[in-house]
């Protein structure tokens, strides 16, 4: 039988400003370790520490602009676009525009603080 996820769980976010993370599927809300799916809303000027995660992250931007930095450059992902960050690759997310960003992030395997490996 399919499992209904009736509501997300809000989880704590890293970064210099408060960001909303609502996990629908993942280790916290559904007990799923294979994949996580979360709805994110980051404010203008938000910046998180860089990370080298052990998961692939697939991000679809719904509104605003999400900046994604890698070792070889920067990508500004606009509403209606997506970006893929592969496991083992250093990456840093931010919303430096004046509107912030709203996006869906899917991690395979599921996000966990133990495997994100954030910079100090």
Q: Is 80 exposed, middle or buried (0-12, 13-18, 19+ CB in 10 A)?
A: exposed
Is-contact 89 51, C-beta < 8 A?
Answer: no
18: its two tokens: 């408060």
Give the Cα separation of 113 and 19 in Å (integer): 16
Q: pLDDT at position 111, please?
A: 98
* Domain range 10-116, CATH architecture: Sandwich (2.60)
Q: pLDDT at position 77, please?
A: 98
46: its two tokens: 């938000």
Residues in the chain where the model's pLDDT stays below 70: none
Question: What are the residues whose beta carbons fall under 8 Å from the beta carbon of 119, sequence distance 6 or more?
Answer: 49, 50, 51, 92
- Three-class DSSP category at 114: helix
Q: pLDDT at position 52, please?
A: 98
pTM above 0.85, yes or no: yes
């Amino acid at each position: 039988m399919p499992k209904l996820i009736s509501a997300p769980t809000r989880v704590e976010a890293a970064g210099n400003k408060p960001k909303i993370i609502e996990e629908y599927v993942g280790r916290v809300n559904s007990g799923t370790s294979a994949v996580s799916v979360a709805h994110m809303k980051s404010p203008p000027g938000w910046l998180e520490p860089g990370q080298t995660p052990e998961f692939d992250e697939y991000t679809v931007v719904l509104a605003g602009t999400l900046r994604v930095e890698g070792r070889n450059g920067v990508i500004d992902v606009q509403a209606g676009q997506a970006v893929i960050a592969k496991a083992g690759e250093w990456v840093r997310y931010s919303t430096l525009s004046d509107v912030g960003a709203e996006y869906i992030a899917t991690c395979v395997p599921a996000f966990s603080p133990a495997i994100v490996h954030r910079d100090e």
